[in-house]
């Protein structure tokens, strides 16, 4: 199954790293990028992603605010969201899981580990029944 992935990441280098990892893995999933939570909300409604990769520390609307709004929307609350963040703050992690995040990965990872994490996440959600429309 080809995924429609929404990458919510304000850092250009991180977005390039993600795209490089996908290319290295040979994935041909559709990727849409938002640079902040406000933009991500609009794109989530328009593009209907079946997987969201989310940074926490962003301008305008941070990742936890975005997560809260999206998970309170009946049309979008079942979209799996994986957080990729530099924050290893236990409070952030606990809050994210309480709101309904599917996973939480702390950056930075070395590139090899990063690629392996991306592969695991995409492999898992590609075959998971919840993402089949």
> Where does the pLDDT of residue 99 fall: very low under 50, low under 70, confident under 90, or very high at 90 and above?
very high
Residue 59 confidence (pLDDT): 86
Per-residue model confidence (pLDDT) at position 130: 52
In this predicted structure, what is the pLDDT of residue 23? Answer: 87
Residue 96 pLDDT exceeds 70: yes
Average pLDDT of span 79-105: 91
**pLDDT computed for residue 132 by the predictor:** 43
pLDDT-based confidence at 133, cuts 50/70/90? Answer: very low
| Predicted pLDDT at 22 | 87
Spell out the residues 6+ positions from residue 85 whose beta carbon is closer than 8 angstroms to its own: 55, 56, 57, 63, 92, 104, 105, 106, 107
Calculate the average pLDDT of the chain. Answer: 88
Domains of the chain: 4-131 (3.40.50.2300)
For position 124, what pLDDT does the model report? 84
pLDDT tens across 43-83, in order? 998 988 989 999 998 888 889 999 999 999 998 989 999 99
Name the band, by pLDDT with cuts 50, 70 and 90, for residue 131.
very low
């Amino acid at each position: 199954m080809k995924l429609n992935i929404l990458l919510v990441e304000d850092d250009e280098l991180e977005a390039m790293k993600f795209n490089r990892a996908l290319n290295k893995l040979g994935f041909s999933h559709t990727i849409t990028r938002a640079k902040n939570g406000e933009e991500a909300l609009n794109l989530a409604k328009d593009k209907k992603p079946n997987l969201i990769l989310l940074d926490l520390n962003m301008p305008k609307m941070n990742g936890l605010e975005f997560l809260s709004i999206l998970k309170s929307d009946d049309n979008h609350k079942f979209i799996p969201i994986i957080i990729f963040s530099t924050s290893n703050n236990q409070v952030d992690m606990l809050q994210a899981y309480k709101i309904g995040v599917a996973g939480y990965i702390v950056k930075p990872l070395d590139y090899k580990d990063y690629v392996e994490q991306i592969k695991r996440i995409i492999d898992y959600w590609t075959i998971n029944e919840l993402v089949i429309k």
